[in-house]
Amino acid sequence: MLQTPSGGAGSGTAAADSGLMSIGRVLNALRDEFPEVTISKIRFLEAEGLIEPQRTPSGYRKFSVSDVERLGHVLRMQRDHYLPLKVIREYLEAVARGEDVRLPAVGRQRDGEALPEAAEGPTAARIGRAELLAAAGIEESELVEWESYGLITPLPEGVYDAETVTVATLVAELGRFGIEPRHLRVMKAAADREAGLVDQVVAPLRRHRNPQTRAHAEARTKELAGLTVKLHSALVQTALGVRLP
């Protein structure tokens, strides 16, 4: 179940804003159920007309509770029913018209068994430089500066890991609060140390000759990474004396 921001009675402004979330907060709200979702994926679903968040005068997306619930519904239909986006859109439009419709069956069949549709959208593990700039909504000069501080690092082939879009978007968001790239080097150093700790734990499994053991290493890496991120978040919140929704 998706959690939405909560709070007591407050000013009119607080009440007006209580139901709206930035794309970063939406990502955090969804990740417990959909750990693979990225900001680029959310933007892609918006471009496909499956969600329509509000826009501030400066162009930033603001999502309502219903937007987040709809987004979760779309992701659930993709994950659990392997439905292509065209079918999901038609289904949601029919529901919005008040029609009594059933969830469509998977489009492809083989020997009577349902097969998943091919993945849609920017789900590849690698993206190019131009694609990164477009997905994160940043300028070339910004990317060059962030690379100089080690916040973003291209792969040997000159492309980027898809998760880099999330990093770039968050760096840009922090910049709105006056937090410059040079200030973020301490966070990058901490992340590198945390990654090194996880790598020490799983390294023996990765070097194992048994393919199943090596596969287990990847699963263990994801599990430890998730726990590390949660601990880091809890420690920061405790140090600041705040509790995030």
Strands (E), 116-232: 126-127, 160-161
Please give the pLDDT value at position 145.
94
Report the predicted TM-score, pTM, of the whole model to 2 decimal places. 0.49
Amino acid of residue 131: E
The two structure tokens encoding residue 174? 């922090």
CA atoms of 120 and 152, how far apart (whole Å): 26
Please give the pLDDT value at position 5.
39
- The residue behind tokens 């709206």 is 20
CA atoms of 76 and 48, how far apart (whole Å): 16
pLDDT values of the chain reduced to their tens digit, one per residue, 245 residues: 444 433 433 333 333 445 788 888 898 889 888 887 888 888 888 888 889 999 888 888 899 999 999 999 888 887 777 677 777 888 888 888 888 777 765 443 333 344 344 334 433 467 888 888 887 888 999 999 999 999 999 988 888 987 888 888 889 889 888 999 999 999 989 989 998 998 888 888 878 777 777 778 888 888 888 888 889 888 888 998 987 76
Please give the pLDDT value at position 142.
93
Please give the pLDDT value at position 179.
92
The two structure tokens encoding residue 103? 């969830």
CA atoms of 60 and 153, how far apart (whole Å): 26
Amino acid of residue 128: G
